[in-house]
Amino acid sequence: MSLFLGISLGLLWGFLGHTLRQKTKLSLVAVSAWLTLLAAIVLPRVFKGGYLYALIGTAVSYVTMSSSHRLEKLWETLTVSCICALLVFFGQNVLVGIGGRLGTFAAVSVFIFTIPKAHKGLINPGRE
Amino acid sequence: MCRHALILLPLIVAALELLSPLFNHGGSLVCLTLIFVVFVIAPKRCGFRDWQRVLPSALISAAGALATFLLANYLNLGPLVASAVVGLAGTSFFKERHQLVLYLGAFVGMSSDARFPSLTLLIAAGLVGGVLWEVLNETWNGVGGRLGTVAATAVLVVLLTLGGGL
C-alpha cells in the first residue's frame, strides 16, 4: 500500500513539476523549491509515515529540473517520476545522511529512461 | 570522459554500500584512488581553464550549505524545508546561474549532523561543491538531479579525505 501511494504521489509531483515548468515562467530552482516545500510541509502531516513520501516528492521535484531536450513530453516525466519513486522507496538505506542523495536518485532515474531511449536504434534497428 | 569518473562517485559508493559485506576496507580505498586520479589527472586532461569563475561559485555554494545546515539543525526546520527556503531565497537575489550554485550548496547542507559534527567540514564540502560545479560544468547537461549528484560527490570527497571516512 505504501509503495502504491508513494508511486501515486511521485506521479502527482511529476505532473505538478512538468505543468509548472511548461505553464509558468518560474525558474528551475523555484519550481523545484516550491515542490519540495509543498512535499515537506503537507505530506508528513497528511499521511502516516509521510516523511518517506516527502522524500519521494522532493526527489521527483529534482527530476522535473531536467531540460525539455531530455524529458520533452508529460508521459516521459511521469515515467521517470515513477522510476524515481521506486528508487527512493527501495534505496532508503543507501547513502544515508549524505547531502545530494535524492538528487543522485533523480539523476539515476533520468538515465534509466533516457539512455535506452537514446539508443533504441541499437536495440531495435528495424523500427528506426 | 574523465569528468564522468568523478560525478559517478556517489553511485560507486552506493554500490559499495550495497555490496559492503564483500568489500570491508576495499571500498574506501577504491574511492580514494578515484578521487586522487580525478583531482590530479582530470583537470589537466580536460583542459579546464576558466578558474576565475571557481571562487565565486565555491563561496556561494558554501554559503548555501551553511545556511541550509543551520536552518535544518539549529532551527529544526529539517533538511527538506531548509533546502527549499534557501533555494527560494536564492531566486530572489541571484541570477539563474548562481541560483543553481546556491541550490547545489543547499543540497550539501542537507547532510545529517551525524556526518558533519563540525561546521568546518561542512563549509569545506560546500567549497568543493562549487569547485566541482565549475569543473563538471558540461557534464550531464540537462539531467535532473545533476546538482544533487555533484553535491553528493562533494560531500563524499570531503568525508573520505578530511572527515575520516564514511
Summarised one tens digit per residue, pLDDT across range B60-97 is 999 999 999 999 999 999 999 999 999 999 999 998 88
Global pTM reads: 0.87
Assigned domain for B122 exists: yes
- Among residues A67, A51, A30, the alpha carbon closest in space to that of B146 is found at A67
Assigned domain for B67 exists: yes
Chain A positions touching B103 (Cβ under 8 A) are 29, 32-33
Assigned domain for B107 exists: yes
| CA–CA gap between residue B41 and residue A121 (Å, rounded) | 35
CB of B76 within 8 Å of any CB in chain A?
A: no
| CA–CA gap between residue B12 and residue B27 (Å, rounded) | 9
Which one is predicted more confidently, B125 or B136? Answer: B125
Cβ distance A111 to B4 under 8 Å? no
Chain B positions touching A40 (Cβ under 8 A) are 78, 80-81, 84
ipTM metric:
0.90
The per-residue pLDDT of chain A, averaged, comes to 90
| CA–CA gap between residue B137 and residue B130 (Å, rounded) | 10
- Least CB–CB distance from A39: residue in B80, B144, B156: B80
Residue of A nearest to B19 (CA): A94
Assigned domain for B141 exists: yes
**Predicted local distance difference test score (pLDDT) of residue B162:** 79
| CA–CA gap between residue A103 and residue A63 (Å, rounded) | 8
Q: Do B83 and A107 touch (CB under 8 A)?
A: no
**Predicted local distance difference test score (pLDDT) of residue B11:** 75
Range of the domain at B144: 50-161
Assigned domain for B26 exists: no
| CA–CA gap between residue A48 and residue A98 (Å, rounded) | 25
Spell out the domain ranges in chain A: 2-127
Non-local CB neighbours of B47 within 8 Å, separated by 6+ positions = none
Query: Locate cell 580505498: which residue?
Result: B29
Assigned domain for B11 exists: no
Q: Mean pLDDT over residues A22-35, rounded?
A: 94
Chain B positions touching A101 (Cβ under 8 A) are 10, 148, 152
pLDDT(B37) > 70: no
Non-local CB neighbours of B25 within 8 Å, separated by 6+ positions = none
**Cell, residue A52:** 518517506
Non-local CB neighbours of A94 within 8 Å, separated by 6+ positions = A101, B14, B17, B18
Q: Grade residue A128 by pLDDT with cuts at 50, 70 and 90.
A: very low
- Least CB–CB distance from A110: residue in B10, B99, B144: B144
Residues above pLDDT 70, as percent of chain A: 91
Assigned domain for B14 exists: no
Give the count of domains, chain B: 1
pLDDT tens across A77-100, in order?
Answer: 999 999 999 999 999 988 899 999
Assigned domain for B20 exists: no
**Cell, residue B166:** 564514511
pLDDT tens across B3-22, in order?
Answer: 666 677 777 777 776 666 55
Q: Tell me the CA distances in angstroms from B85 to A17, A35, B82, B126, one per residue in order.
A: 17, 11, 5, 17
